[in-house]
Amino acid sequence: MARTRAPERTLLPGDEPLSLLRKDGSPVDDSPLAMPDDDVLVELHRRMVVGRRFDTQATALTKQGRLAVYPSSRGQEACEVGSVLALRPDDWLFPTYRDSVALVTRGVDPAETLTLLQGGWHLGYDPYEHRVGPQCTPLATNTLHAVGFAHAARLKGEDTAALVMLGDGATSEGDTHEALNFAGVWKAPVVFLVQNNGYAISVPMSKQSAAPSLAHKGIGYGVPSVLVDGNDVAAVYAVVREALVSGGPTLVEALTYRIEAHTNADDATRYRTSDEVAAWLDRDPVDRLEAYLTSRGLLDNERRAAVAAEAEDFAASVRAKMNADVVPSPDELFEHVYATTPAHLREQAAVLREELA
Ligand SMILES: Cc1ncc(C[n+]2csc(CCOP(=O)(O)OP(=O)(O)O)c2C)c(N)n1
């Protein structure tokens, strides 16, 4: 049987992350990426500002006991918003617990997005409405969902790609490797967006991988891989859009940072310094795009105020929806888990009903 080899060199990411905007918002002269159109840049800005406000509102809701837990994506808005706006209407998103801003950007109702984190229901939204899979809490299971979905779409002759979000820590899970392997074999139209925010809770990257970069991990599976500045929303948008329309798999490693702790239940000061956080605040994705838009005359004080007001209104609507008391039915705990409820669960449901009666 003939043996063939993949052209390894072409699959390798570059040494430096791809970017379009420097830290101060000035454009990179010799970027191989195409700058998104002005209207896209303006929309990326609006969505990042609204997304950030949603994120701080959700964090505040944990303090009021309205949410059980919230994993903030503050600082990661360029990944959350840039990749989601790159999706075409028929593409699907497979997010994690960290990616609520991505869901809201895709159009999922914010209260429905937060239902899981509130503890109100297993899944608060209809995945088919906006083509968003369930937010996965088990690390990396969504990579398998995305590859299976993308492969099935291909078999059905549909022009649909899948975008799966995962963290640096999730790349250490077996599921990621199985997913990458079959994405490569099947040439499935799937984009793995690794948001490398430096830590898996308190475990730093240096303890996760000995590879030169996480993007290098695609090569062994025949998956072209790209390294991008994850705080540069224009670059994230450009790279993800190109990957989604490529018709095959791509691994995108986006270098970014989560400014807040892992969740509201975590104390990040125990494993990272304030200097490190300050250095990343200096690379803020929203400030960076604002500087560029302002220099191009695409953003002025009036527009900035209008976007800020929209974000405030959005946060107020989230508060209003989340301040309504939920009265979940304990019975529902057993519903929609199995097509046919197994005997032991029927028994447990009966015991619960008896106790509550
Ligand atoms: C299969 C599995 N193992 C362990 C955990 C516990 N856990 C929750 S979050 C987390 C760290 C994840 O880090 P990373 O993938 O980098 O994503 P981030 O939270 O930084 O976005 C771990 C180990 C889990 N949720 N699922």
pLDDT digits (tens, 9 = 90+) for 293-327: 999 999 999 999 999 999 999 999 999 999 988 77
- Indicate the average pLDDT of the chain: 95
- Residue 188 Cα to chain centre, angstroms: 20
Distance CA 264, CA 54 (A): 15
Identity (one letter) of the amino acid at 3?
Answer: R
pLDDT at 86 over 70: yes
Please state, as a whole number, how many other Cβ atoms lie within 10 Å of the Cβ of residue 277.
Answer: 17
**Residue 197 Cβ < 6 Å to ligand 1:** yes
What is the average pLDDT across 68-92?
Answer: 97
- Per-residue pLDDT, 5: 52
Determine contact, residues 96/193, Cβ cutoff 8 Å: no
240, pLDDT greater than 70 = yes
Atom of ligand 1 nearest to the CA of 71: 19
Average pLDDT, stretch 180-195? 98
Indicate the pLDDT class of residue 219, thresholds 50, 70 and 90: very high
Ligand 1 atom, smallest distance to 141 CA = 1
Average pLDDT estimate for 88-111: 98
In the chain, the amino acid numbered 92 is W
Is residue 275 scored above 90 in pLDDT? yes
Residue identified by tokens 């950007």 is 105
pLDDT, average across residues 228-254: 97
Pocket test of ligand 1: the residue of 143, 175, 194, 201 to mutate, having most ligand atoms within 8 Å of its CB, is: 201
Give the pLDDT band (50/70/90) at residue 3.
low
Amino acid at 79: C
Is the pLDDT assigned to residue 328 strictly greater than 80?
A: no
Identity at 156, one-letter amino acid code = K
Per-residue pLDDT band for 246 (boundaries 50, 70, 90) equals very high
CB atoms within 10 A of CB 46: 16
The rounded distance, in Å, linking the Cα atoms of 255 and 226 is 11
CA of 112 to the centre of ligand 1 (A): 23
* Per-residue buried b or exposed e for 124-137, using 16+ beta carbons within 10 Å of the residue's own CB: bbeeeebbbbbbbe
Q: In this predicted structure, which of 97-111, 114-128, 246-260 has the lowest mean pLDDT?
A: 114-128
Pairing of strands 162-167, 92-94: parallel
Which pTM does this prediction carry?
0.94
User: Mean pLDDT throughout 321-337?
Assistant: 84
Q: What is the mean pLDDT of residues 327-347?
A: 87
137 lines ligand 1 (CB under 6 A): yes
Out of 68-72, 128-132, 308-312, 337-341, least confident range:
337-341
Contacts of 159 (CB under 8 A, 6+ apart): 90
From the CB of 167, is ligand 1 less than 6 Å away? yes
Quick one: average pLDDT of 122-142? Answer: 96
The predicted structure's pLDDT at residue 2: 55
pLDDT for the residue numbered 8: 46
Structure tokens at 57: 């509102």
